Amino acid sequence: RLRGIDLIEQKVLCEYILANPANPNNREYTPEKQTARATAPVFTEDAKLKVFKAAKNVTVRFDAAQSTDSEPVFLYMVKVLNADGEVVKSDWVLPKYYSATVEKHERLKLGKFEKGEYTVSVTAKTAWGAESEAMTANFTVK
């Protein structure tokens, strides 16, 4: 028996009863079972991905994805592809999911790019590997 206790309020928050914990089949919170249960986060239909350019420096700003289960969005993977479909830049954003106030938007400076046509994609991911559909936007550097 495991109990989650709020030490400040002096009350039991939750209780877990593990039947025969020595049997691995009875363990609910193994990485394998958590991964199998994980559902992908989603960007809402009206979510926006905007690209800002200043002197060939590119910054993206995007709306946060929504969790579809109890797991928070753990990170955002950002990729920039050139006109040939080659990845020319990849980076990630760690949202402040652990904070009391979760941001509604995220921002990432991508740096400078040569002249050309580009596509930027943002994918939200949970700690268990479930990935959202990518949100994309095109931009041109002149």
pLDDT in tens, 80-127: 999 999 999 999 999 988 777 778 999 999 999 999 999 999 999 998
Judge if 71 and 9 occupy the same domain.
Answer: no
Specify the number of domains making up the chain.
2
pTM, full prediction: 0.78
Which of 55-78 are b and which e, b meaning 16 or more Cβ less than 10 Å from the residue's Cβ? Answer: eeebebebbbbebeeebebbebbb
pLDDT level of residue 21 (50, 70, 90 thresholds): confident
The Cα 127–Cα 72 span in angstroms is 8
Instruction: Return the pLDDT at 27.
Output: 80
Containing structural domain, residue 67: 49-141
Phi, psi of 37 (to 5 degrees): -85, -20
Q: What CATH number corresponds to the domain at position 131?
A: 2.60.40.10
Instruction: Return the pLDDT at 63.
Output: 98
Q: Does the residue 42 lie in any domain? A: no
